[in-house]
Amino acid sequence: MCGICGVLYRDPERPVEQALLERLNATLNHRGPDSAGFLVQGALGMAMRRLAIIDVRGGHQPVFNEDGTIALVFNGEIYNFQELREALRTCGHRFASDSDTEVIVHAYEEWGDAMLLRLKGMFAVALWDGRRRRLLLARDRMGEKPLYWHDSDHGLVWGSEAKAVLAAPWVERRIDPVALHHYLSLQYTPDPLTIYADIKQLPAAHKLVVEDGKPPRIERWWQLQFEPKEELSDADAIEQARALLTAAVERQLISEVPLGAFLSGGIDSSIIVALMAERTREPVRTFSIGFVERHFSEVGYARQLAERYGTHHYEFIFRPEDLVRVIEGVAAAADEPFADPAALPLYELARQTSQHVTVALSGDGGDETLAGYRRYLLDGWLRPYAALPNWITQQAIPGMAAMIPEPAWLPEDRNPITGLKRLGHFASVTHKASLVRWGSYFNHAEKLALYHERWREEPGARDSAAWLAAAYDAAQARSQLDRTLAADHATYLAGDLLPKTDRMTMAHSIEARAPFLDVDWVTWTAQLPRRYKIRGGTTKWLLKAAFGATLPPAIAARGKQGFGVPISHWLRNDLCTWARERLLGNPALDEWFQPMAVQTLFEDHCAGRANHGKKLWALLMFGLWAEQRMQGGVHA
């Protein structure tokens, strides 16, 4: 695991300065505290910071082919590198190390860009083909490892985090109004946008190529396919599920440094730990975090699983007195405004975990591959609702719900009042957007009412629900459930869950791995019929059928809880004074939003008249990010 960065000047006669590379690379020290590597070849410069995990002694970067004409820096892990190395050796390639990184160079030499399709793992690569003066940047299929870039008259700059790109002196810090507009609804900035007007994200499963002095060319190199459907008996499906997930876990156990697992107490991480425990000689080291607020804490379930498998279990409690320290750390680590409150406990969990292991497996991706969220059930439930008259769906039900206070002490996914209020959204947008926008917070009208008048025209008609609907339309799938799953892969998974895991863990030099995102598992589950994902009102049916017997009954039988965070409660109590100081009179917020509108949101929330916790949190994290990065909120 590493951080990578680089520069390719447009002028082939302009040499890259070593000092510039060092400046970019220094911003990524946390991603790779073990060593640094640099390459300068005229107008091309690449650098990296290394977190040594595989071939600790010999796996230094950059790596080269036999004659030194192809060079690579790489962030991630290739889990099938040993198989690929043997195949390449039979083709005559010679290796100087035992690292997975070197395999990529020889794979490119043998198969060109098509080598990406042979890689099983998580990765962001920067490869320089000196003979062709060709630069290849590429990201893994699901988007586990990030890559940012900027192109201008100077040339191309790239890095694992936006802060590395910003270290180039010609890259300006300007806010993109469209990205901000989407952030307020989604709690993240969707690719290819970033909050910075002059920096883009390379989307998952895409590559960027620069050659012959031409502008960057971006192409998709892989697409998740949901068809054709694989028809199986229940027994065969259960057998294959066990085999594929077991193989994924076994691949991801490779490490020369201490390894453990994040254990939430939910079914996904519990299954991963169970499979790890069955395949390791020493007790698995497991790490859990909970809250003082018992409605949000799952540590009791995690403890049950740890006891069943005899893990070496570490349990931490997130306490209110830690809040401000962790919030400021999250804002710095996220690099952009990021308003998923689950980043807070994950940041603290990673900090504590880093004192014991360097690699941690997680349950990320289980819900997106086998339809684990409750909202995946909505396609059946909403048909009769959508048939009701508009005066019921748009006036009566939302109106009655608006008069009922939402309890801030209860997680949103278990809060019936929150769900009742959100029903009003479903008749106001297309059905396809309804399912994927369940987690949006400010709707289009609310955002326009919040902006200063001079900014209302900036986003124009860029409704975030329409953006989500476009992701639904682009899905290579037929059924409504499959289209929704595909849209979630492209939006929520790629934009929220995976960046959250990457930034919060790498802030503490922890490599997080996700067996549920193994390419064999992802492609197989995508082509399963609906009945293996949802059956009889049960989500993730196949996962529970295949592995339920390996879990304590209380875990196997429980529904989806999610990593709920009592942010609404904190804003009314422990964070009230801190939030007031940062929301009211904040120059970054006042630049974009009407102060009285922000104040009204805050006062209504604190008085219990409404639950605006998630909305206020989005504003707070934007303001805190701007204080740290923008010195007052410069706009595009």
Which residues are identified as catalytic? 2
Confirm or deny that 289 is annotated as ligand binding.
Answer: yes
- 210, 135 contact by CB (below 8 A): yes
One-letter amino acid of 280: T
DSSP string, 285-306: EEEEEEESSGGG--HHHHHHHH
One-letter amino acid of 188: Y
Give me 343's structure tokens: 């980043």
Helices (H), 463-612: 464-473, 480-488, 498-506, 519-526, 541-547, 553-556, 567-572, 576-583, 587-592, 595-606
Closest residue by Cα to residue 566 from 316, 290, 353: 290
- C-alpha 37/C-alpha 47 separation (Å) is 5
What own/partner pairs with CB < 8 Å and gap ≥ 24 does 598-605 have? 598/450, 605/568, 605/571, 605/572
- C-alpha 591/C-alpha 598 separation (Å) is 12
Rg (the chain; Cα; Å):
24
Confirm or deny that 100 is annotated as ligand binding.
Answer: yes
DSSP string, 159-195: ESSHHHHHTSTT----B-HHHHHHHHHHSSPPTT--S
- Conformation bin of residue 160: beta by default, left when phi > 0, alpha when psi is -120 to 50: alpha
Surface-to-core class of residue 480, CB atoms within 10 Å of its CB (0-12 exposed, 13-18 middle, 19+ buried): middle
- 563, 346 contact by CB (below 8 A): yes
Which residue matches tokens 């459907």? 229
- 543, 241 contact by CB (below 8 A): yes
Confirm or deny that 404 is annotated as ligand binding.
Answer: no
- 377, 534 contact by CB (below 8 A): yes
Confirm or deny that 362 is annotated as ligand binding.
Answer: yes
Can you say whether the dihedral through the CA atoms of 588, 589, 593, 594 is positive or negative?
negative
Q: 486: which residues sit within 8 A by CB, 6+ positions away?
A: 224, 226, 471, 472, 474, 475, 476, 477
List residues forming the annotated binding site for L-glutamine.
Answer: 100
